[in-house]
Amino acid sequence: MAAMDATDAARILEESLERGLAGIRSAGSLDELEAAQVAALGRKAPFSGVQRSLGSLPEEARREVGRRVNGVREALRSAVEERRVVLQEAEGRRLLESDRVDVTLRGRRPRAGSLHPLTLVERQVCEIFVRMGYRVVTGDEVETDWYNFTALNIPPDHPARTEKDTIYLDVPGPGDLLLRTETSAMQIHTMEGQEPPVHIVAPGRVYRKETPDPTHLPVFHQVEGLAVDEGITFADLKGTLLAFAKAMFGEDQRVRMTPDYFPFVEPGAQLAVSCFICRGRGCRTCKGTGWIELLGCGMVHPNVLENVGYDAERYTGFAFGMGVERVALLRYGVPDMRMFYEGDVRFLEQFERVG
Ligand code: PHE
């Protein structure tokens, strides 16, 4: 801009001021303001051209134009600052607005998890017996042949012992190690550790070589019960299980016992409860019989008492064992046991405590 004279310079400065102010004042955001500032005062702005060519003006004009350059720069800068304050306030208000809390809104409930249906049923079963004075005991899932079979009066040639039914561990140890096939093993542990009276329930996981289907799983849960004292009779067993059935399934429950065989009890029985789906009239769940088989039970076999060093002449007792999956399946009307293990949240979150 070598050829610029004082008139040109004055014109450019006035235009720069006018356009610059217009740009600055119309900036709608801090970013736009930044751009307007660069356009008005930046290195490429006409204003800066004038500034740079001041040196080529004659002395008199240079002072004159120089003063105007300073005036325009000041005017533009103060316009930028003014606008910045306005925009910052607006931005602040916007942030405040977006941060505003409506204290009259209803609270949002955090998404809570739910207890697994098997946990619910297991706890409820145990609670019912705890209220009757029973103690909850738990034990290891890895057992020896003694606890799982021999001490329970299960003969050496019993089919349950075979590889077909029992999962044996391939590790060196004191005799065969296996995954317990029934919580009845806890009867032995408990009685070995204390004198009568015994009143325990033992919840826990058990293992059997089963192919999973709607009513069988290779890993499932049982709750074992054991009561040993002087003078315990079969009537005590029946009364206890009736009380349990009423607490678990409702006051109008009835129970029925039919003979069954387990090596560790004599006599042994199967306990059925009146079908709580059809109330005994007969439906698909009870296969038209009005009864649902719930658990195995019986009077503790004298051999078992003797195996743990109890005096079988003095003490008697009863035991029972039930499948938690089976109780849960019946109680909640679940069609397939495998659903308890699939971990589908849509299934799992439907359960609440029963009873
Ligand atoms: N342990 C037996 C089972 O797994 C159930 C049972 C327990 C039967 C105690 C009688 C007494 O089938």
CB 182 within 8 A of CB 321: yes
Shortest-distance Cα residue to atom 4 of ligand 1? 182
Mean pLDDT in residue range 32-36: 94
Residue type for position 254: R
Choose the most confident range, by mean pLDDT, from 31-40, 91-100, 160-169. 31-40
The residues, ordered by sequence, that sit 6+ positions from 34 with a Cβ below 8 Å of its Cβ are none
Please, what's the b/e burial string for 52-63 (b: 16 or more CB within 10 A of its CB; e: otherwise)?
Answer: ebeeebeeebbe
- What number does CATH give the domain 117-348? 3.30.930.10
Mean pLDDT in residue range 304-316: 98
More confident site: 191 or 346: 191
The pLDDT tens digits for 226-263 are 999 999 999 999 999 999 999 998 898 899 999 999 99
The residues, ordered by sequence, that sit 6+ positions from 170 with a Cβ below 8 Å of its Cβ are none
**Looking at ligand 1, which atom is closest to the CA of residue 181?**
4
Tell me which DSSP letter residue 350 carries: T
Mean pLDDT in residue range 281-296: 88
Domain ranges of the chain: 6-98, 117-348
pLDDT at residue 54 in the model: 87
The Cα–Cα gap between 315 and 26 comes to 99
Q: Phi and psi for 118 in degrees, rounded to 5?
A: -70, -35
The Cα–Cα gap between 262 and 269 comes to 8
Please, what's the b/e burial string for 116-154 (b: 16 or more CB within 10 A of its CB; e: otherwise)?
Answer: ebbebbbebbbbbbeeeebeebebeeebbbbbbbbbbbb
pLDDT at residue 174 in the model: 67
Q: Which of 295, 304, 324 to mutate to test ligand 1, by most ligand atoms within 8 A of the CB atom?
A: 295
Q: Which residues line ligand 1 (CB under 6 A)?
A: 182, 184, 224, 262, 265, 268, 296-298, 319-321
| Ligand 1 mean position, distance from CA 320 (Å) | 6
pLDDT at residue 3 in the model: 59
Rg of the Cα trace of the chain? Answer: 43
CB 188 within 8 A of CB 307: yes
For tokens 């561990």, what's the residue?
A: 169
Mean pLDDT in residue range 281-293: 87
Averaged pLDDT of the chain: 92
And the tokens for 260? 């069954």
Mean pLDDT in residue range 30-45: 93
Element (H, E) at 275: none
For tokens 């204390």, what's the residue?
A: 194
List, in sequence order, every residue forming a beta bridge with 223; answer none if it has no partner.
203, 322
**Looking at ligand 1, which atom is closest to the CA of residue 183?**
1
Residue 110 — pLDDT band, cuts 50, 70, 90?
Answer: confident
| Ligand 1 mean position, distance from CA 147 (Å) | 14
| Ligand 1 mean position, distance from CA 63 (Å) | 111
**Strands 315-323 and 135-136: what pairing?**
unpaired
Mean pLDDT in residue range 102-121: 88
Residue 113 — pLDDT band, cuts 50, 70, 90?
Answer: confident
Residue type for position 94: R
Residue 354 — pLDDT band, cuts 50, 70, 90?
Answer: low
Mean pLDDT in residue range 50-68: 89
Residue 130 — pLDDT band, cuts 50, 70, 90?
Answer: very high
**Dihedral sign, CA of 75, 77, 80, 86?**
negative
pLDDT at residue 1 in the model: 45
Shortest-distance Cα residue to atom 10 of ligand 1? 297
- Compute the 3-state secondary structure of the chain and give helix, strand, coil in percent, each to the nearest 5: 45, 20, 35
CA diameter of the chain: 133
pLDDT at residue 111 in the model: 77
| Ligand 1 mean position, distance from CA 222 (Å) | 9
Residue 270 — pLDDT band, cuts 50, 70, 90?
Answer: very high
In 82-232, DSSP assigns E strands to 135-136, 142-144, 168-169, 177-179, 198-207, 219-230
Mean pLDDT in residue range 312-324: 98
pLDDT beyond 70 at 33: yes
pLDDT beyond 60 at 355: no
DSSP 311-343: -TTTEEEEEEEEEHHHHHHHHHT-S-GGGGGS-
The pLDDT tens digits for 1-23 are 445 788 888 899 999 999 999 99
pLDDT at residue 102 in the model: 86
pLDDT beyond 90 at 175: no
Q: Which of 262, 264, 304, 326 to mutate to test ligand 1, by most ligand atoms within 8 A of the CB atom?
A: 262
Shortest-distance Cα residue to atom 7 of ligand 1? 321
Q: How many CB atoms lie within 10 A of CB 291?
A: 20
SS3 state of residue 249: helix
Please, what's the b/e burial string for 211-240 (b: 16 or more CB within 10 A of its CB; e: otherwise)?
Answer: eeeeeebeebbbbbbbbbeeebeeebbbeb
| Ligand 1 mean position, distance from CA 296 (Å) | 5
SS3 state of residue 87: helix
Q: Is the peptide bond before 267 cis (omega within 30 degrees of 0)?
A: yes
